[in-house]
Amino acid sequence: MTIKKTKDIFLFSLFLMFFLNLKAVAAQIVNHSAADTAMKIMNSETAAHVLPSAYMVIPFILLLLMIATGPLFYKHFWENHYPKVSLLLSVVVILYYIIFLNNTKSLLHTLTEYISFIALLSSLFVASGGILIKVDKKSTPLVNVIFLLFGAVISNIVGTTGASMLLIRPFIKMNKNRIRPYHIIFFIFIVSNIGGALTPIGDPPLFLGFLSGVPFFWVIDNVWYIWIPTLVLVLLAFYLFDLNNKKDSPTKVEYSGKIHFKGYKNLIYLLIIVIAVFIDPVVIPWVPSLYPLPFGIREIIMFAVVIVSYKTADKEILKDNEFDFEPIKEVAYLFIGIFATMIPALQLIAYEAKEFGDKLSAGVFYWATGILSAILDNTPTYMNFLSAAMGKYGLDVTVKSNVQNFVLVDDIYLKAISVAAVFFGSLTYIGNGPNFMVKSISERAGIEMPSFFTYIVKYSVIILLPIFTIIWLLFFYGKG
Amino acid sequence: MMTIENTIKNKLKGLYYGNRMILPFNCHLLKVIIEDDIIMDFSPSSKSIYVHEEENFTEIYFKLFKNIKDAVSKYESIKLIAVEKDKDIFNFDNHYKLAVHIEDEHKLTIDKTDEDILFIE
């Protein structure tokens, strides 16, 4: 292990230890379920604690600006120092919450969410890194559309992260002679985000909704008719782009038309991860809670999968996949900064949403959840807006039966919040965890990806916003 | 003059010291990928790379890295598209896609990238 890597791990561990120490201070939390605790804290944050100063949103804005501008204008500095920048900005917010607000509950809740987030992402990343899929078939616009549609469906079974990690390499290989950045961007739109809107496994906000009491099959029963037109429109846009791509191999290539698959045992690891998602005291009552630790059995299983799947992986497959921990390390560092610095922003938004919840229509919930999901984490955004929508009916998001009643009373708000939280994650590189990882894998393959701003201006605004506007007009305009 | 073809055939090794990589052949470079840096500017003013050609070897300095061993992990490689010095650069059949793996004791192994490795020209 190199000195730099040892230093990185030391720095990261130090930070986690600092964060973990907070749990001792937060001993007054009495609920013994980590997930339940997380939800309760989230929704009691604004009520039980003084709101943070609006100035405390500055570290978050600064971090977002640096993520956007770093790789463009000061690449060398950013590549060498982004972990320190991310941790430093986090520490500013953490100290503010400890010293000035005396609020450790919010920090503990965020830590719980972060560990859960990184456990899922890293386990899917490592397990799928030991799988090699080779599609030796000439890519055409239609074949690509079918491939992306398959990815969208699969993302509801193995999650958007699992599907992205599993399919991005074969997608690039299939298109190696005519690949352009738009191929990757549409992959991010469809497989890494929009596809996963049908089940709670698809995307984390839907899973938290499920833990709160939204029935497992409510999503597919109520969102499919929004999912289909959205997907059709995005696939149609991709088809038109791809139809105009006349690029072909400069040398003659012969295709066997076969699909090769290596690394079957890693499918078992993926299955374990998917099953582990449900191993939570909220879902299965006999599952022991590890309170006051900020993680549960689920996270332990997922981290165990990281170690076992890496140690037992076929070295040839790892070599062919050029497996490297760097993409997940980048996500781990940047998102610890994003998770910590966004606490004040989320609390201020939650307060405003509750204050004005009565006056908000389904359309406002759709746009507000969506735009904030694109720049903040979509899971707490989903929960805050769900809480505000339920507040309209005097219901409490922390009470499971209330959530079940809310679904029966008027589900237009839940539909708006659910689809927006998932769909809009595709608007930016930071909108969803796998977006960054797909970008990183593509760059390592030699594909020049657009910058943070170019991605938004040239692709998200031009392609996605009109489609999301059509969805709003069709399903949410003038409702609620 | 040592060629790329001979280097691969005879499994000759390159060398690295810090951010300096020494390839045992003379070549024209078209594209270099190290980590997620895609380098295509090989002019003297390039901020990423400096290439120096000698009769029997090619030196590459990666200016953004102190030590390439820290940048490239166990299963990763530095990827190059290179053309033999005396071959037609405009003929794509002459473009070698190479994967350079970092080993211990300052050694580099140089292979043609196989079909399984993702490498877009």
Residue A36 has pLDDT above 50, yes or no: no
Residue A47 has pLDDT above 60, yes or no: no
- The mean pLDDT of chain A is 83
B75:A2 CB<8 A: no
Output A412 or A322, whichever has higher pLDDT: A412
Q: Quick check: B86 contacting A, CB < 8 Å?
A: no
For tokens 């690509």, name the residue: A144
Confidence (pLDDT) at A251: 59
Q: Which residues pair with A262 in a beta bridge?
A: A132
Mean pLDDT for A448-466 is: 93
Answer whether residue B58 is part of any domain.
yes
For tokens 């009470």, name the residue: A399
Mean pLDDT for A307-333 is: 87
Confidence (pLDDT) at B117: 65
Residue A221 has pLDDT above 60, yes or no: yes
Amino acid at B60: I
Q: How far apart are CA A66 and CA A179, in angstroms?
A: 29
Q: How far apart are CA A183 and CA A180, in angstroms?
A: 6
Per-residue pLDDT band for A142 (boundaries 50, 70, 90) equals very high
Nearest by CB: A326 against B35, B47, B64: B35
Output A353 or B51, whichever has higher pLDDT: B51
Nearest by CB: B33 against A321, A441, A446: A446
A446:B76 CB<8 A: no
Residue A317 has pLDDT above 50, yes or no: yes
Give A-chain residues touching B93 at CB under 8 angstroms. 251
B38:A446 CB<8 A: yes
B116:A5 CB<8 A: no
Q: And the tokens for B95? A: 């473009």
Mean pLDDT for A31-58 is: 58
φ, ψ (nearest 5 deg) of residue A250: -70, -20
A447:B120 CB<8 A: yes
Give B-chain residues touching A438 at CB under 8 angstroms. none
Give B-chain residues touching A315 at CB under 8 angstroms. 75
Identify whether A292 is preceded by a cis peptide bond (ω within 30 of 0): yes
Residue B74 has pLDDT above 90, yes or no: no
Confidence (pLDDT) at A1: 40
Q: Which range in A337-346, A403-412, A464-473 is most confidently predicted, on average pLDDT?
A: A464-473
> CA dihedral defined by A196, A201, A205, A211, rounded to 10 degrees?
150
Mean pLDDT for A429-439 is: 86
Answer whether residue B15 is part of any domain.
yes
pLDDT tens digits, B90-113: 988 888 889 899 988 899 999 888
Give A-chain residues touching B36 at CB under 8 angstroms. 326, 440, 443-444
B119:A445 CB<8 A: yes
The residues, ordered by sequence, that sit 6+ positions from A74 with a Cβ below 8 Å of its Cβ are: none
Confidence (pLDDT) at A369: 92
Answer whether residue B121 is part of any domain.
no
Per-residue pLDDT band for A269 (boundaries 50, 70, 90) equals very high
Mean pLDDT for A199-219 is: 87
Q: Quick check: B119 contacting A, CB < 8 Å?
A: yes
As for how many domains chain B has, the answer is 1
Residue B76 has pLDDT above 50, yes or no: yes
Instruction: Give which of B27, B28, B8, B19 is closest to B99, Cα–Cα.
Output: B8
- How far does B115 lie from chain A, in Å, by closest CA? 9
Confidence (pLDDT) at A18: 46
Answer whether residue B118 is part of any domain.
no
- How far does B2 lie from chain A, in Å, by closest CA? 26
The number of angstroms, rounded, from the C-alpha of A224 to the middle of its chain's C-alpha atoms is 20
Per-residue pLDDT band for A58 (boundaries 50, 70, 90) equals very high
Per-residue pLDDT band for A199 (boundaries 50, 70, 90) equals very high
Mean pLDDT for A155-164 is: 89
How much of chain A exceeds pLDDT 90, in percent? 38
Give A-chain residues touching B119 at CB under 8 angstroms. 445-446
Per-residue pLDDT band for A235 (boundaries 50, 70, 90) equals very high
Amino acid at A415: K
Residue A10 has pLDDT above 80, yes or no: no
Q: How far apart are CA A348 and CA A331, in angstroms?
A: 25
How many Cβ atoms sit within 10 Å of the Cβ of residue A197?
29
Q: Quick check: B79 contacting A, CB < 8 Å?
A: yes
Mean pLDDT for A380-405 is: 81
Output A55 or A133, whichever has higher pLDDT: A55
- The mean pLDDT of chain B is 87
B92:A5 CB<8 A: no
Cα-trace Rg, chain B: 13
CB A449 within 8 A of CB A443: yes
Output A18 or B11, whichever has higher pLDDT: B11
Mean pLDDT for A93-103 is: 93
Per-residue pLDDT band for A123 (boundaries 50, 70, 90) equals very high
Give A-chain residues touching B70 at CB under 8 angstroms. 2-5
| Chain A / chain B CB contacts < 8 angstroms | 71
Answer whether residue B97 is part of any domain.
yes
Residue A6 has pLDDT above 60, yes or no: no
Confidence (pLDDT) at A318: 87
Mean pLDDT for A165-172 is: 89
Give B-chain residues touching A4 at CB under 8 angstroms. 67, 70
DSSP code string of chain B: ---HHHHHHTT-EEEEETTEEEESS-EEEEEEEETTEEE---STT-SSEEEEE-SS-EEEEETT-S-HHHHS-TT--EEEEEEETTS-TT-GGG-EEEEEEE-STTEEEEEE--TTS----
Confidence (pLDDT) at A212: 79
Q: Quick check: B10 contacting A, CB < 8 Å?
A: no
Confidence (pLDDT) at A161: 86
Per-residue pLDDT band for A455 (boundaries 50, 70, 90) equals very high
Confidence (pLDDT) at A20: 43
Instruction: Give which of B51, B71, B17, B59 is closest to A76, Cα–Cα.
Output: B71
Containing structural domain, residue B51: 4-112
Answer whether residue B95 is part of any domain.
yes
In terms of DSSP bridges, do strands B96-102 and B107-112 run parallel, antiparallel, or are they unpaired?
A: antiparallel
Q: And the tokens for A29? A: 């939390």
Confidence (pLDDT) at A197: 95
Q: Quick check: A324 contacting B, CB < 8 Å?
A: yes
Nearest by CB: B75 against A250, A251, A322: A322
Answer whether residue B108 is part of any domain.
yes
- The residue in chain B having the minimum alpha-carbon distance to the alpha carbon of residue A7 is B70
Residue A431 has pLDDT above 60, yes or no: yes
How much of chain A exceeds pLDDT 70, in percent? 88
Answer whether residue B120 is part of any domain.
no
Confidence (pLDDT) at A75: 77
Q: How far apart are CA A152 and CA A13, in angstroms?
A: 36
Mean pLDDT for A148-162 is: 91
Confidence (pLDDT) at A26: 37
Q: Quick check: B19 contacting A, CB < 8 Å?
A: no
- How far does B54 lie from chain A, in Å, by closest CA? 27
How many Cβ atoms sit within 10 Å of the Cβ of residue A245?
16
